[in-house]
A and B are shown apart, each in its own frame.
Chain A
Amino acid sequence: MWEYTEKVLDLFYNPKNQGAIEDRDEAGVAVVFGEVGSIACGDALRLHLKIEVDTDRILDSSFQTFGCTSAIASSSALTELVKGITLDEALNISNRDIAEYLGGLPEEKMHCSVMGQEALEAAIFKYRGIEVEQHEDDDGRLVCSCFGVSENKIRRVVIENNLTTVEQVTSYVKAGGGCSSCGAEIEDIIAAVQQEKEVTATRVAAEIAVAQAQNRPLTTVQKIGLIQSVLQEVRPVLIADGGDVELYDVEGDVVKVVLKGACGSCASSTATLKNAIEVRIKERVSPNMIVEAVE
């Protein structure tokens, strides 16, 4: 039996917003749905959106899910997350946001949250008349034929969730969970993503060294590069405690970050900000920097 959070169980036993949204031909309102998954794969989600055409705002949302406990809970969570926001804002919702809303999911079940994010995208693309295929398979390359997963999808989930192993990729998008003959290729994709990250980091570091040698002030891009590297250092500790941090914006000397998960609600998060993050940023970027949390 899986260990589910209270929130997952609650949304499984008392799901919110289940069912379809009826299109009543109201003026200025559009109703669409997006669907992903299949009965063959064992999970499928049809996400319904009611959109205010003028403002691009999601007025209502509901779901129909074929799947396990976490698929039902993830779908229900998603409908709550998207209500009231604009389509552009909705496109920024990642599978991690869904999992966080649920207080976490067993890693083997993360693909349920990915399914939610994909259905949302499918619904919005459909509403905007964008062919999903164009987005999904830019280079059309299928890596896992057992579960029909493209290279792009794997890259995306690796980057967004900082995945480092094939097993993790399997938990998130199922790729590799069948005959497992695609495992080596998935490993290559993970390695490539990591290498790209390193290359960017070294490039920024080199630029900074040059700037410092010439005693020039750092450019904003360089500042952001350094700040990101500090955040990457502290993230593992926060994640281990059930939280996370993300850079939101840099305005002059003010660094705005979003504290997530347990960090967001934790009383000692200000201390974390000041001690762990701000001190390092002052040291590495400039003594004038201040770190602030945004909601």
Chain B
Amino acid sequence: MSAVIYLDNNATTQVAPEVVEAILPYLTQYYGNPSSMHTFGGQVGKAIKQARSQVASLLGAEESEIIFTSCGTEGNNTAIRAALAAQPDRKHLITTSVEHACVLNLFKQLEKQGYTVTYLSVDRKGQLDLMELEAAMTGNTALVSTMYANNETGTVFPVEQIGAIVKEYGATYHVDAVQVVGKLPLNLKNSTIDLMTLSGHKLHAPKGVGALYVRRGFRFRPLLIGGHQERGRRAGTENVVGIVGLGKAAELAQLHLADIQHEKKLRDKLEKGLLAIADTEINGDRKNRLPNTTNIGFKYIEGEAILLSLDQFGICASSGSACTSGSLEPSHVLRAMGLPYTTLHGSIRFSLSRYTTEAAVDRVLEVMPAIVERLRAMSPFNNDQAEWLQDREEAVLGSR
């Protein structure tokens, strides 16, 4: 196998070499506990402070508004629980049908605990209808939680507009920005967002570190109780290495934002080339979309078979097909968008990073037509008219 061509950056990213360099001393020399009273620990405390300011700067926030966490899941869980604790009398929550599992599954659990939840639908582009949001809001709504951008399609939600509606009803607005930080410029200074989550390993920091933005003045109830770390808002000895890495990664991301057009150009080239293959379709909102993501449906063939074929050439991508996950249902995001089954099962996500080269894109364009052709030659479906396909599709859908 030749060198890996990594186009799965929405899953995770390579740790930036500068980040590796920045964290090494904290694995070797500076191992003190930042909570200790001696100078040795104090040095480490300073490093954390610097990381906090680096992250705050990327978000256009203040240092005191940043809490370090272990990951996006912890950030989202903490934010949602904190928001509910802040408004214990309100029992209605709103989210969308395309959220990450760490949000959706938490809401399902909250439903069992007596909350009612409205799951907003999305259209064919994966976009929300703000009228639907407005209609769902009541004086009983405690929290609205939406992503900033979808991990599978890259579709970007109009968060400030959503936040404005949420504020009218005195509710809290939480945003899962895991896919956006480092890809779109952010400024939380005059934002309508109360709480916002990010995760380090999506922006070239190591895995196991993340951050939660908490708007100054927001009534916050911690999830982890213990010592006074993070000013009592997240107990537990700090993941110093991760935090230093996240800080450096945030600094690099800010520099890179100026050059994000380069990534977008490569993405567009990849997309254009793949769309030249017959019976292909882009899934997502082409206008409001992350610059690094494209999700393409290759009709009449199945995603896992495509991925394994790509893997043979050392190309890493990902798929919304059921067969890749062991779950039997394909991606809830693509289903919520109402994609036809012909496209749904054969959808592949390519997600780029600043390390993606033009040669990598060219290689995908070189091998993909033959892969698609080979699998289509094996498939019993080759057009939307195949009648046994339609009968059965209806039969199965009808029984749901």
Contacts and interface: CB of A to CB of B under 8 A. Distances in A.
Do A and B pair up? The answer is yes
Interface stretch (B60-68, B71-79, B195-203, B387-395): B387-395
Interface in A135-185: 142, 145-148, 170, 174, 177-178
Given A40-B341, A40-B393, A66-B300, A174 B323 contact: no
Interface string B313-332: 00000000111101111100
Contacts of A40: 341, 392-393, 396-397
Contacts of B377: 18-19
A211 interface: no
A126 to B, nearest CB: 13
Nearest to B375: A72
> Interface size class for chain A?
35 or more
Contact of A66 (B324, B326, B381, B400): B381
Interface in A178-213: 178
Nearest to B303: A68
B341 A177 contact: no
Contacts of B323: 42-43, 67-69, 71, 109
Contacts of A117: none
Contact of A39 (B324, B389, B400): B389
B1 interface: no
User: Which of A18, A42, A63 has the most chain B CB atoms closer than 10 A to its own CB?
Assistant: A42
A64 interface: yes
A177 B388 CA distance: 24
Contacts of B381: 39, 44, 66
B183 interface: no
Q: Chain A at the B interface: mostly helix, strand, loop or mixed?
A: mixed
Interface string B323-358: 110111110000000000110010000000000000
Given A42-B322, A148-B396, A65 B378 contact: yes
A38 B380 contact: no
Interface in B69-88: none
Contacts of B305: 12, 67-69, 72
A12 B395 CA distance: 30
A80 B388 CA distance: 26
Contacts of A15: 378
A148 B399 CA distance: 7
Contacts of A145: 399-400
Nearest to B316: A1
User: Which of B300, B322, B328, B400 has the most chain A CB atoms closer than 10 A to its own CB?
Assistant: B328
B380 A46 contact: yes
Given A13-B312, A15-B378, A146-B400, A38 B304 contact: no
A38 B386 CA distance: 11
Nearest to B386: A39
A178 B400 CA distance: 10
A41 B395 CA distance: 11
B308 interface: yes
19 contacts: A12-B305, A18-B378, A39-B342, A39-B392, A40-B396, A43-B302, A44-B381, A66-B300, A66-B301, A66-B345, A68-B305, A68-B321, A69-B308, A71-B302, A72-B305, A108-B326, A146-B400, A147-B328, A148-B395
